[in-house]
Amino acid sequence: MATPDGPPSHPWQKGKGDDYTAFVMEVHVCETYPRQPVRMVYTHHDFQSPEDRDTARGLISAGEEQIAYALLLNAMRREGFIEALIQYQKDKEFLDRYSAADVDERQDLENELAAKMVTVLSRLIRKMAPEVARETLMMMSSED
């Protein structure tokens, strides 16, 4: 059952229920080998099944907003994890200090981590947005 303070308990049942609607997206990731100066990462996502596609189509904007939000939220979680690992590698007491901190100290540490996440993700968005915009418009203009 969904609560105002959090998501329904896992596992979520696919489809439209009384309290929520759930569907599954699969994300495929491909990283090229370094023939160029850097490795390139490519991604593709799609519904796991036709039933998932039908469920999403029943949502506002056919699920596009929910999918975009879910993928962004997970990108932010991954970046938070990466930044926390980097901080931990620099300072092995980092997590112990967080665990022992009072509410104000925890908020300070959380804000520091959030600021690092914003810096990295903002830089990536500025760098990648023009190419993604071109790709989006090309894809949409070639649809029948």
13-48 tens-digit pLDDT: 999 988 999 999 999 999 988 776 777 888 999 999
Same domain, yes or no: 118 and 141 = yes
Task: Provide the pLDDT for residue 52.
Answer: 97
Is 49 contained in some domain? yes
Same domain, yes or no: 84 and 38 = no
Same domain, yes or no: 91 and 105 = yes
Task: Provide the pLDDT for residue 143.
Answer: 65
Task: Provide the pLDDT for residue 34.
Answer: 72
Is 39 contained in some domain? yes
Is 8 contained in some domain? no
Same domain, yes or no: 30 and 86 = no
Same domain, yes or no: 126 and 74 = yes
- Residue matched to tokens 């796991």: 48
Model confidence pLDDT, tens digit, residues 122-139 = 999 999 999 999 999 999
At 143, the amino acid letter reads E
pTM of the prediction? Answer: 0.82
Task: Provide the pLDDT for residue 10.
Answer: 87
- Total domains in the fold of the chain: 2
Domain that holds residue 110: 63-144
Same domain, yes or no: 50 and 67 = no
Is 143 contained in some domain? yes
Task: Provide the pLDDT for residue 144.
Answer: 53
Angle between the N-to-C axes of helices 103-141 and 64-90, in degrees from 0 to 180, rounded to the nearest 10: 130
Same domain, yes or no: 54 and 70 = no
Is 6 contained in some domain? no
Same domain, yes or no: 50 and 68 = no
Distance of CA 102 to the CA centre of its chain: 29
Same domain, yes or no: 53 and 69 = no
Same domain, yes or no: 53 and 101 = no
- Residue 1 pLDDT > 60: no
Measure Cα distances from 98 to 3, 43, 66, 82 in Å.
28, 34, 32, 16
Same domain, yes or no: 45 and 75 = no
Model confidence pLDDT, tens digit, residues 52-95 = 999 999 999 999 999 999 999 999 999 999 999 999 999 999 99
